Amino acid sequence: MSTPIGVRAGGPGLAQVRNLVTELPGPKSRALASRMGAAVAPGLTHPTVPVFAARGGGGVIVDVDGNSLIDLASGIAVTTVGISHPDVVAAVQAQVAALTHTCFMVTPYESYVALAERLAAKHPAAASGEAVRAAFFNSGAEAVENAVKIARAATGRDAVVAFDHAFHGRTNLTMAMTAKAKPYKSGFGPFASEVYRLPGSYPYRDHLTGPEAAERWIKLVESQIGGANLAAAVLEPIQGEGGFIVPAPGFVPAVAAWCRANGVVFVADEIQSGIARTGDFFAIEHEGVVPDLITVAKGLAGGMPLSGVVGRAEVIDRVGAGGIGGTFGGNPAACAAALAVLDAVERDDLTGRARQLGEILHARLGAAAAGDPRLGEIRGRGAMVAVELVDAQTGQPDPALAKAVAGHAIGHGVITLTCGTYGNVLRFLPPLSISDELLTEGLDVIAAGLAATR
């Protein structure tokens, strides 16, 4: 089993192979699942086959029974550099030994500042010499909340527009911005006001070109919200939970241009798509668009909780001292981890690696789709790829098939995720440290699962 050139697999001592020594879940996982059932809130999403993790690294998770599973989920795009990447582990260990916490707003420390500098340099606005600044928080939802606060303060306007199929989090404001009622919103209202939702671009289902979808969106904004009332448009450049929807070419640039012309803050929510995942550092780079604000989280700190807003100083500087922040935001250990992640991304060319993995994903899934009309569309960029599963006759979404294939996969030691408004999308977010062989083996299991359900 080879490790990709230049990529450190992480998880020292873990063989990068799938190796099943018990049925899945094994006896220890079953015992833990029963304790989980008694002690943990059932309102959390829980896997249909709960396999409890003990160790991990590279593309492998070793469970409590000693099974080695192939990781095609990265804990929802978090362990992009691999679980327990050695540089992340070393950086965190050194940082917690020196400083666990001071609160950046009480006694600042260098790692926070260094991370802000590094991320600012990666914001597309920095390329034209514009000043860019950053602020750090703990979760993705918190980053989105703060982006909206910044946009409202900067514009003096209230309205926020989000898109069909969007996911922005589970806090009150971000629930309002999230599209899907069940399980995310039903029973949890009332929601934050002045949040509007409009259709974006979903070429597989709306059959519109990018400019057509943008024209529809602009007309709706102008007639239903009013450009002068709109503080921010918040868009995932590739929608995550919503189904890995890649907008039609031209849609995002047209929306961004309209925002710029109308004084609306354009926010790219890169919480799932950012940090080298799509073959660029930010997915928005592919669109050639300079967003005002970018939200980051997930892959940023290699598994440590950290999120942030990175954006044009002209916008961010409009919030007065004390207006944003939080006790734990930008914790020293999380910032140290993120600096190690950025080093690994640059040193190991992880954007290039994401593109290589994307080629394997598209090739293997494309082969599975040949002669199988249930694979309606394979889409995504870099190592953020999904297949939308549909009924072969009607073309209607087939969530049962997605569930069956994901169930087959976990039963055979491959961890995947489903997503999509209709629950019919199988998504792949492998760690960028996975070997070609391990990814291919995982995708062979998916192909076998598809064949078994035919």
Applying the rule CB under 6 A, the residues between 120 and 149 that interact with ligand PLZ are: 139-141, 144
Applying the rule CB under 6 A, the residues between 42 and 61 that interact with ligand PLZ are: 45
Question: Which of 284, 317, 316, 271 lies closest to 138, judged by CA?
Answer: 271
Q: Between 4 and 302, name the residue whose CB sits nearer to ligand PLZ.
A: 302
Least Cβ distance, residue 31 to ligand PLZ (angstroms): 26
Q: Between 218 and 268, name the residue whose CB sits nearer to ligand PLZ.
A: 268
Residue with token string 């803050």? 265
330 Rama class: left (phi>0) / alpha (psi -120 to 50) / beta: left
Sequence-ordered strand ranges (E) for 148-224: 159-163, 195-198
Question: Which of 232, 161, 258 lies closest to 200, judged by CA?
Answer: 161
Could you give the angle at the alpha carbon of 256 between the alpha carbons of 151 and 80, nearest 5°?
80
Which of 236, 287, 388, 398 binds ligand PLZ (CB under 6 A)? It is: 236
Which of 135, 246, 271, 378 binds ligand PLZ (CB under 6 A)? It is: 271
Decide: is 76 part of the binding site for ligand PLZ (CB under 6 A).
yes
Q: Between 236 and 292, name the residue whose CB sits nearer to ligand PLZ.
A: 236
Sequence-ordered strand ranges (E) for 293-412: 293-296, 307-312, 375-381, 384-389
Q: Quick one: which segment of 116-124, 185-193, 221-229, 233-241 binds ligand PLZ (CB under 6 A)?
A: 233-241
Of all residues in the shown chain, the one whose CB is closest to ligand PLZ is: 140
Cross-strand partners of 296: 308
d(CA 379, CA 389): 12
Decide: is 279 part of the binding site for ligand PLZ (CB under 6 A).
no
Least Cβ distance, residue 203 to ligand PLZ (angstroms): 19
Least Cβ distance, residue 419 to ligand PLZ (angstroms): 9
How many angstroms separate the first and last alpha carbons of the chain?
Answer: 31
Which of 87, 164, 241, 292 binds ligand PLZ (CB under 6 A)? It is: 241
Amino acid at 441: E
Least Cβ distance, residue 50 to ligand PLZ (angstroms): 16
Least Cβ distance, residue 139 to ligand PLZ (angstroms): 4
Structural contact between residues 292 and 255, judged by C-beta atoms closer than 8 angstroms: no
Q: Between 283 and 401, name the residue whose CB sits nearer to ligand PLZ.
A: 283
- Give SS3 for 258: helix
Could you give the angle at the alpha carbon of 141 between the alpha carbons of 137 and 142, nearest 5°?
30
Structural contact between residues 200 and 235, judged by C-beta atoms closer than 8 angstroms: yes
Tokens of 187: 């029973």
Question: Which of 228, 235, 313, 214 lies closest to 263, judged by CA?
Answer: 228
Least Cβ distance, residue 297 to ligand PLZ (angstroms): 5
Decide: is 168 part of the binding site for ligand PLZ (CB under 6 A).
yes
Applying the rule CB under 6 A, the residues between 330 and 389 that interact with ligand PLZ are: none
Decide: is 167 part of the binding site for ligand PLZ (CB under 6 A).
yes
User: Which residues in this chain contact ligand PLZ in the complex, by CB under 6 A?
Assistant: 45, 76, 139-141, 144, 167-170, 236, 240-241, 269, 271-272, 297
